[in-house]
Each structure stands twice: as structure tokens, then as C-alpha cells.
Amino acid sequence: MTSIDQRSADELRRLQEAAVWRVRLTEDGVGSSEAFETWRADAGNAAAFDEIDEPWRRMGEEGASPEAISARVGALQRARRSGRRRWRARSGIWKAVAAIGVIGLLLGAFVGWRWTDARPLVYETGMGERRVVQLADGSTVSLDSSSEVRVRYSADARQLSLERGQARFEVAHDTGRPFTVRAGDQIVVATGTAFNIDMLGPEVLVTLLDGRITVMNVPVDTAESAPRSGRASGSAIPAEQPSSASVNLTPGQQIVIRPATIAEVKPVSASRATAWETGQLVFEDEPLSAAAARVSRYSGRRIAVEGPAADLRISGVFKAGDAGGFVDIVSRYLPVSARSESSGEITLRTTPDGV
């Protein structure tokens, strides 16, 4: 693109007129008008408008973030003030310096926003907090307590990263822009669907609620590492040396991925997987260590599980954030005892006559 200071007076005039037409159409909420079409019938004017309209359109398509909206509003206000005299007059040629000002305002706002857009948007929740985030394309992310997700959208991709915690993703259908979520080493790819991801320490649980997703970088049997559908209910994929592959899930399936072990695909109740959205925690034959880690996510008191007690199994429905109630019930029905540490942490361990 030729720089502004290398343009002829005629080119600058056309660009300035194009800039003001872009602002005027936007403010009027219309895509065109009879006067605009008459002006645009000139090939030089049409080329100038396309040069102004392309970055402005991209701001509209990609810039639904607060930063992008702020940049557009600021550019509109300043460009309107610069062009107000032209809108009132029906004749006259603008000075080159005025043209440079308006064009700079429009394109400068776009360039500044693109720099901001290179940084991901970060959404997070504190202890005991839940949050629903509406994304630019209409997708939604529901964040659980103590969770964080990073979002980066572009013209051809929707890239998210779950840094910690748990989230439910409701994906707006758009085959032209794949929706991917990275959780640890795993990548979930979807176009229009609903799924839940729970990062429990080094463990990642992906549950498909609706539609179809592909989970990539899944540790599987070396002999069966080609892409395929999820395994049957409750079946682990045995192997001594896992390799990575892609696994497709169908609604009602959950894949459990642990470091250096074979992934497990099993059926799961969607209501159980998303019970956290209503403030409940539902455990069904789950290791005590995993249940304690989930309860700790909602409470200021961490619950640690030591020794053989970690492998004890627990089932039940608990209130999120009620660490004391969880410890009381576990101590009553399982062979474990609880001890409060000076740090405020609660430690669960097997009783002397426990298993």
C-alpha cells in the first residue's frame, strides 16, 4: 500500500471522502444509500472505499472485545468531528492535511486494536465464584470456581485455553472457524456442540454433552494409535507405552486422561458432569483423593488425602463449598479419620483398623 505522504491530492480527496462515507453509513445503520451509490459509481472512489472499508469491516467482524469496541467508538467520534463540515457542505475539496487526519484516525484505530487483539482475553473466577461469559461469536463459557480460561479469536480460528479449574463450553456453529480448547497437553476440537472440561490437577476429564468433538494428543495403545471413535463403556485402552492419537466422543461419553497412563472412555450422566453449575458435587464410585480435590476447589480449606485412603471409593451428592460437611460424612462412612493442621488444611488418612 502506498503511504499517505506519497498519495496525490486526488487520491487523498477520494480516501477522505471514503472515510467519511464509512463513518456516515455506520452511524445511520445502513449498508448503502442512493447518494453513496452515486459517489461509488466512480471507479477511483470505489477503490478508495474498499481500502477504507476492509480494515473497518474486520474490526466489526472480529472486534467484539471491549478493547475493539472502544477503538471503534473513539475513531467514529473523532472522524465524525473531522468530517462534520463536509457533511454540511455539498461542494468543495478537502485539504490534504484533513484527509490525512481522518484516514489516520480510522486506520490507526484498527492497527491499535490489532495489537491489542494479539493478546488473549482472560476470564477467571475466584474461590466459590461461578461466571458465564458470552463470546464474540455467540458461544458461551461457564466457569466453575477457581477457574481461568484464555480466549483468542481471529478471522479463521477460535482458540481457547483452560488454564485451571473447570468450564462448560456451548459452541456456536461455524465450520469455517474451528473452536479449539487446550487443556494441559490435550486439545478439544469442535464446531457447534456442548462439552465440559475438568482439570483436576494433572488429570483432565472431557465430557461431551451434545454434538461431536475430537480430543487430540490422547495417550493410547501404541498398536491402536490411529484416529477412531471412543471405546465402549468403562473400557481402558491397555498398553505399556502410550502414544498419542485423536479420539472422537459421542454425547454421554467422558474421556479421563492421566499422565503416563492409558486414556479411559466411559459413559457418564450429563447432569452429574454439570451438577457444579447448580452448586452440587455428585460423586459416583470416585476415588476419595479426586473427590477431596474437587471439594477443595470451592473452599478456603484444602482437604488432603494421605496413603491408602486416597484409593477409597466414594459416592454421594454434596454441597459445593461445604468442606466441613464433606469431611464429616466421609469420616462417618469410610474408615478414615480427619485431622486439622495448623495451616488450616484438613488431612484424611485411614484409621488403624481401616483398609
Query: Residue 323 is part of which domain span?
Result: 279-350
Query: Is the pLDDT reported for residue 354 higher than 80?
Result: no
Higher pLDDT, 265 or 56: 265
Give the range among 19-28, 57-66, 209-218 with minimum mean pLDDT. 57-66
Rounded to an integer, the average pLDDT of 156-183 is 92
Query: Is the pLDDT reported for residue 110 higher than 70?
Result: no
Give SS3 for 228: strand
77, 101, 117 - which closes a domain: 117
In the block, cell 450429563 appears at 270
For residue 335, what pLDDT is reported? Answer: 92
Same domain, 137 and 231: yes
CATH number of the domain that residue 201 is part of: 2.60.120.1440
Give SS3 for 314: strand
| Mean pLDDT over the full length of the chain | 78
Same domain, 130 and 258: yes
CATH number of the domain that residue 334 is part of: 3.55.50.30
Same domain, 172 and 196: yes
Q: Where are the alpha helices (DSSP H) in the chain?
A: 9-28, 34-40, 43-62, 66-88, 96-117, 270-273, 288-296, 323-333
Strand-pairing partners, residue 183, are 186
Same domain, 83 and 163: no
For residue 94, what pLDDT is reported? Answer: 41
Q: Identify residue 316 by its one-letter amino acid code.
A: G
> pLDDT class for 181, splitting at 50, 70, 90?
very high
Query: 168 is written with which cell numbers?
Result: 462448560
88, 117, 146 - which closes a domain: 117
Query: 199 is written with which cell numbers?
Result: 482439570
Same domain, 8 and 111: yes
C-alpha 277/C-alpha 274 separation (Å) is 6
Residue 49 lies in a domain: yes
87, 117, 147 - which closes a domain: 117
Same domain, 149 and 264: yes
Same domain, 161 and 74: no
For residue 60, what pLDDT is reported? Answer: 52
Which residues have a Cβ under 8 Å from the Cβ of 88 and sit 6 or more positions away?
none
Percent of the chain past pLDDT 90, that is, above it, reads: 32
For residue 249, what pLDDT is reported? Answer: 94
Beta strands in 241-342 (DSSP E): 243-249, 253-257, 264-267, 280-287, 303-305, 313-319, 336-340
Q: In angstroms, how far apart are the furthest CA atoms of the chain?
A: 97
Query: Is the pLDDT reported for residue 260 higher than 60?
Result: yes
Give the range among 23-32, 60-69, 254-263, 336-345 with minimum mean pLDDT. 60-69
Rounded to an integer, the average pLDDT of 325-348 is 89
> pLDDT class for 107, splitting at 50, 70, 90?
low
Same domain, 154 and 185: yes
Number of domains in the chain: 3
Residue 66 lies in a domain: yes
For residue 116, what pLDDT is reported? Answer: 47
Rounded to an integer, the average pLDDT of 60-70 is 48
Query: Is the pLDDT reported for residue 215 higher than 90?
Result: yes
Rounded to an integer, the average pLDDT of 320-337 is 90
Which residues have a Cβ under 8 Å from the Cβ of 309 and sit 6 or more positions away?
288, 289, 334, 336, 348, 349, 350, 354
Residue 355 lies in a domain: no
Give the range among 102-106, 179-183, 243-247 with minimum mean pLDDT. 102-106
Give SS3 for 271: helix
Same domain, 72 and 196: no
Q: What is the four-CA torsion angle of 127, 129, 135, 139, rounded to 10 degrees? A: 110
For residue 87, what pLDDT is reported? Answer: 44
Query: Is the pLDDT reported for residue 228 higher than 50?
Result: no
Query: Is the pLDDT reported for residue 37 higher than 80?
Result: yes
Rounded to an integer, the average pLDDT of 213-234 is 62
**Tell me, what DSSP letter sits at residue 75?**
H
Same domain, 133 and 237: yes
Same domain, 164 and 225: yes
Residue 51 lies in a domain: yes
**pLDDT (tens digit per residue) in 123-148:** 999 988 999 999 988 899 999 999 99
Give the range among 99-113, 154-168, 238-252, 296-310 with minimum mean pLDDT. 99-113
> pLDDT class for 203, splitting at 50, 70, 90?
confident
Same domain, 105 and 135: no
Alpha-carbon distances, residue 52 vs 29, 31, 295, 300, 307 (angstroms) = 17, 14, 54, 53, 67
Rounded to an integer, the average pLDDT of 268-284 is 89
Percent of the chain as helix, strand, coil, to the nearest 5: 35, 30, 30
